[in-house]
Amino acid sequence: MASKTKSVYFCQNCGYESAKWLGKCPSCGEWNTFAEEKITVSAKGSSSKGRKEATKPQRLSEIEVTQEARMKMPSSELNRVLGGGLVAGSLTLIGGEPGIGKSTLLLQNILSIRNRKILYVSGEESATQLKLRADRLGKLSDNTYILCETLLENIFDQIKKEKPELVIVDSIQTIASENIESAQGSVSQVRECAVALLKYAKESGVPVILVGHINKDGAIAGPKVLEHIVDTVLQFEGDRQYLYRLLRSIKNRFGSTSEIGIYEMVEKGLREVKNPSEMLLSDNRQEEMSGIAIGCTVEGVRPLMVEVQALVSTAAYGTPQRSVTGYDQRRLNMLLAVLEKRAKFRLGQKDVFLNIAGGLKIVDPAIDLAVVGAVMSSNFDVAVSRKTVFIGEVGLSGEIRTVTRIEQRVGEAEKLGFDTVVIPKANLKGIKDKFNIRIVEVGKIEELLKFLFE
């Protein structure tokens, strides 16, 4: 029987489907995001002639596991986040804010690959713009082919003709299929184009990388099913006011999601940061200043030393201010309440400003002890030794709670030349002898005060 066409309304922000237009999306709460799209519905009773033969179930014990073939990328940070390189036939999605460096990251990597044929499909930039960017990066490759095209069928025609070993699509929101009656970037177009590219990757064994836009909340724009379709989702993030960029793995079917890659934006593209702790600490580490304490956080599986800066001053306008950069303001308010209740600090009429140097946003509770140390130091105007690292979570009763990965944190502090590390009591559980660094154990806020100022 013949197929029929009907109208469906999709939220362009999250992909929610509705039979009628709605002013506010019930799923994501955004206003005026519904757009009408035509979809084709097959009539009931359609013939099953031509259908593929169904696959048969297999015993789990009989399934053979083989090692995935991986394509090593020139960037070791990218390889780490991917889990060892691009897996053959995989579909990878890289998301990030406009101008953060997604295209630069991909272009400088593929221009360094000399032994593989690569097709770079650009739906946003012209060939001249890409050539200018390649010249700025100082790299040229005869194996990289640029295709400026937005029609999916034309892209597949060129793929069939060129037979590349790696395909990059920048970006998936600009690609459209002539078989779907909706605009570029719509839910139907993004979903169908991603599915077609996934089918090509799995059948040919050629890895495909997609670049995706993000919405104002920082999530990948378009339908949520896009993230379910792909094998790997990478998020490229950072503050454009700072030079550093973080590459995180949100989803990875072939590796861990706990790894991060760190880059620095320089004149000739992105430079890998081999020692991230050094970039987050001030150069004037020998100069003692009040209100500064060094903490240790863990990003993925990598321990990072971060500089916590605090400023405590008398409130000039009656109502005390609480200003925070790179840290949770509610958690700072909790720590200030603990200091007032348990350590008898009088901070209710004082302004407190807190900053995590380097532009990082820290959510690790193990940084609590460094925050408390920095606030105490600024309040008394007494400098804390820049050779001391603080690791620990502060509880509501003023106790210092144990944290995870304490051995990696202490080992990183020792490697970077610190001479003292303050940790929760009994967190190392009798294995302190394996470290040469001085280890001070504290169980309560009062013990931290005694260590710092006596």
Dist. CA 129–CA 106, nearest whole Å: 15
Flag whether pLDDT at 162 surpasses 80.
yes
Flag whether pLDDT at 173 surpasses 60.
yes
Please report where in the chains the tokens 């920095």 appear, as a residue. Answer: 374
The length of the chain is 454
Helices 152-162 and 187-204 sit at what angle, rounded to 10 degrees? 20
**pLDDT tens, position by position, 242-299:** 677 889 898 999 888 878 888 888 888 888 887 777 667 765 555 678 999 999 998 8
Q: Across the strands, what pairs with 96? A: 236
Dist. CA 199–CA 206, nearest whole Å: 11
- Of all residues in the chain, the percent with pLDDT exceeding 90 is 46
Residue 1 pLDDT? 47
At 50, list the tokens. Answer: 């031509």
**pLDDT tens, position by position, 76-100:** 999 989 988 999 999 999 998 888 8
Q: Across the strands, what pairs with 271? A: 264
Are the CB atoms for 235 and 211 separated by under 8 Å? no
Flag whether pLDDT at 364 surpasses 50.
yes
Neighbours of 340 (CB within 10 A): 13
Residue 46 pLDDT? 47
Question: How many C-alpha atoms does 301 have within 13 Å on its Cβ side?
Answer: 8
Flag whether pLDDT at 396 surpasses 50.
yes
Residue 144 pLDDT? 92
Are the CB atoms for 200 and 208 separated by under 8 Å? yes
The candidate with the shortest Cα–Cα distance to 436, out of 453, 420, 454, 452, is 420
Residue 42 banded pLDDT, cuts 50, 70, 90: low
Name the pTM for this structure: 0.77
Return the C-alpha torsion angle 191, 197, 198, 200, nearest 10: 150
